[in-house]
Chain A
Amino acid sequence: GIQVEQSPPDLILQEGANSTLRCNFSDSVNNLQWFHQNPWGQLINLFYIPSGTKQNGRLSATTVATERYSLLYISSSQTTDSGVYFCAVVNYGQNFVFGPGTRLSVLP
């Protein structure tokens, strides 16, 4: 089945810093989503982005489907951005596969 890798596994930032999270996947996908899991376990949708670029406030994401990777950019990070960021992909007709996540800690 499709494999999903995320890097870095852990990231510690000072408040106000910028960061880039990466997601690599091993096969063609027709859906890719980025999620933020808060400390209570809730998975929150950030982007639905099988291709192209999207922006939402301080967050933006780019997926290059032909090269099988996606990037999540966080600018001017805040302590509330802390948590685990997951990318998840689905390959036509199959189920969603999640990456292992990037654990982000933003220090005040």
Chain B
Amino acid sequence: KAGVTQTPRYLIKTRGQQVTLSCSPISGHRSVSWYQQTPGQGLQFLFEYFSETQRNKGNFPGRFSGRQFSNSRSEMNVSTLELGDSALYLCASSIQGEETQYFGPGTRLLVL
């Protein structure tokens, strides 16, 4: 079974731009969660989608948004990028949400 995939793997943007990241979960998994990892804040939960509905949301500004499609693939969008958005963005998939989570390789975003 193929693992969780994320695209792109690396991204460089400038302040004020927007970015869209993509995550394809393991086949059969309906829950996709997104996390931001930075050296200062560690791994922080962004949001979780299940069956195309946002089920949980972390404490991030409205510039961070996401969606999930009917095939369970998910995208997250960050608008009006700030320097502090530079981070490793990880997505994880699971069957229903609260059991074993499997992570993708991440997208490294650098905002200049």
Interface residues of A (CB under 8 A from B): 30-31, 33, 35, 40-45, 48, 86, 88, 90, 92-98, 100-101
A41 vs B35: C-alpha distance in the bound complex, in angstroms? 13
Chain A residues with CB below 8 A from B92, complex form: 43, 96
Q: Does more than half of chain B's interface fall in helix, strand or loop, or is it mixed?
A: strand
Classify chain B's interface size: 20 to 34
B58 touches A95 (CB 8 A): yes
A100 touches B42 (CB 8 A): yes
A95 vs B47: C-alpha distance in the bound complex, in angstroms? 8
Decide yes or no whether B101 CB sits under 8 A from chain A.
yes
A96 touches B45 (CB 8 A): yes
B106 touches A42 (CB 8 A): yes
What does the 1/0 interface line of B82-112 toward A look like (CB < 8 Å)? Answer: 0000001010100000111111011010000
